Structure 1
């Protein structure tokens, strides 16, 4: 299946997009405002690592307390995707230099301001993003070392995060001997994304098998059969919640990939219902903004409006194939509420007040993946 991620790279080379299209403005903002931040003031050239966040006023980095492997991996994806392979190579080298645990295997969660290991635990979320980013970098650059990282990290995930019956733990100790956090939905979702990227990059059918096993565990562990939604914690957990943004994200992974594992597990039908539930209960009718979390009945339990669920909603809408005017209207609502001339608003409260003003390096990943789907939808209509 055609990968919508590649469309962003094509746009960067100057492929025409109708000037009246809302997605054209998103493209221009991303290429001319967002990306330059992370090549310049948002990048610590001395360490070869992206700062965690910058100020929206002058794009100066916030004083660094740590650098996360996941943030480096997301930036590796972003610059691989856009075709800036020189910067991507720097990020790939930094990822391996600072975060790889040569003694125990796997990848540290973070390093301190000087580049020394800080948070040494091994978490599935980080490992999933390393597979995902290195798969994209390997596919675009044909770098053998990146293919090796994908293969080695995939095997390590299977061997060291297993919790039994196909379920994976979210966080384990530095030496992988102690489980610190049991299964969680979010790292599993990003691992599904990583297996899809690795399959595309390598052509190795073993990633289809890995994906099928993972999705079976998701159905058994996280699916609320009443709504079709995928909960954040295993079903039956106290204080469980449903995040609309994650329903939209899962919907894209299913419908956008067309991988038969989603159909064989019945997740495609469940996620169609989950999309409707999340849209009905989790999107503010007045502003079009997506809320952070619902309970299993659809009541809003966290009305924070972060930017990433908005981008996942746009990506899901584009993947669903809605009318161009409907999609365009939602793009404009998103632009008005979350983008500005110096960058973006990371988070707002329901009444519109900015609740997080700084701009983290991780957000560019969400912008890139959403905008790619919007460009593809524009081409097809």
Structure 2
């Protein structure tokens, strides 16, 4: 058996500490004060100092789905089932099909927009839950919601619209990067859970469409808006996230050219979007690498960790232990985490949203150990 390098041993020890914090602090937060036992839904956010839930104004289907993913992955089958039942009973639109964006504080439909981002997370979470639990209803949701996305959200050039009216009659949001990325993530999970090769074909088409409309040629970065749109931006966190997804897709994405683009995008994002001193990842850049938004959100930090762990380049792996340390110091705390900070390190958002544990869980799973 080969002995581990000091760097690998250090990374494993650091990653173990992150997972321990997640198990001891983060998961109990969302089983306890972050969970509304009456509605059986996760609150939108908890107070960082309390911790207690912030007063509820709404509950989003996407937040419920992300929590379903987290507790499924963590092996908490009982809480995962509660969340799955709530997703089904609270957010399904039984009249028009699909899923509501949100319900109000009493659990009645609030924003009935049909949102691709939400539908992608329903597929993603139900694939994880169904794959782990064997729940056939969850796997049926994966197939049914994916079919609805392909029929009702379809846009020109194998893309998908971002939003539609409640009855799917009118487009209210044209294709943008972020929902398409999460749809890619969802269909990769669906492919693994169902072993249905229909997802292979869907993923190939989607990857080709994204490569054609969103890849910025000079940098390889996947832009937030279609190339040529006014005031476009490049988000370093999304370059790191796409790198992971393309590696997960393997041969599926070869014909798209994303395999060649994303390592360049990683280098660009790392050079211009990561503070060399603090390790902080900024929110967005312009196409020349100038910072547009210097805010450092925790999700982008987690995607950088995951990209370093999965890149395959020895230099990226060598940088991982130090980056974990910087992340731990800057973004974690005994009662949870800091959601976002300024470039100077001041807290920019004080509460802790229910959507963030998904980012922590996916990053920590990719780390060695």
Q: Could you tell me which of 89, 98, 106 is aligned with 1:114? A: 106
Match of 2:354 in 1: 361
Contact 1:123 1:171 in 2 (8 A): yes
Cα deviations by residue, 1:115-146 (Å, 9 ceiling, x for unpaired): 00000000000000000000000000000100
Cα deviations by residue, 1:162-218 (Å, 9 ceiling, x for unpaired): 112211100100000111110110000000000100000000000000000111110
Match of 1:303 in 2: 294
Corresponding residue SS for 2:149: helix
Match of 1:191 in 2: 183
Match of 1:153 in 2: 145
1:369: Cα distance to partner?
A: 0.3
**Alignment partner of 1:28 is 2:20:** yes
- Using the size of structure 2 for normalisation, the TM-score is 0.95
Q: Could you tell me which of 104, 108, 120 is aligned with 1:128? A: 120
**Measured at CA, do residues 254 and 20 of structure 1 come closer, stay the same or move farther in structure 2, by a change above 3 Å?**
closer
1:157: Cα distance to partner?
A: 0.1
1:265: Cα distance to partner?
A: 0.8
Cα deviations by residue, 1:322-379 (Å, 9 ceiling, x for unpaired): 46552111100000000001100000011111010100000000000000011xxx24
Match of 2:272 in 1: 281
Match of 1:370 in 2: 363
1:219: Cα distance to partner?
A: 1.1
Question: Structure 2: any 5+ residue segments left out of the alignment?
Answer: 1-8
The alignment covers a number of residue pairs equal to 359
Corresponding residue SS for 1:21: helix
Q: CA RMSD in A?
A: 1.2
Point out the more displaced range, 133-142 or 317-326: 317-326
**Alignment partner of 1:338 is 2:331:** yes
Match of 1:11 in 2: none
**Measured at CA, do residues 175 and 224 of structure 1 come closer, stay the same or move farther in structure 2, by a change above 3 Å?**
same
For residues 28-47 of structure 1, the aligned pairs below 5 Å read 28-47=20-39
1:19: Cα distance to partner?
A: 10
CA distance in 2, matches of 1:19, 1:229: 28
**Alignment partner of 1:219 is 2:211:** yes
Contact 1:21 1:328 in 2 (8 A): no
CA distance in 2, matches of 1:93, 1:258: 30
Match of 2:228 in 1: 236
CA distance in 1, matches of 2:137, 2:165: 26
For residues 309-320 of structure 1, the aligned pairs below 5 Å read 309-320=300-311
Question: Structure 1: any 5+ residue segments left out of the alignment?
Answer: 1-16
Point out the more displaced range, 67-76 or 220-229: 220-229
Contact 2:30 2:354 in 1 (8 A): yes
CA distance in 2, matches of 1:20, 1:145: 37
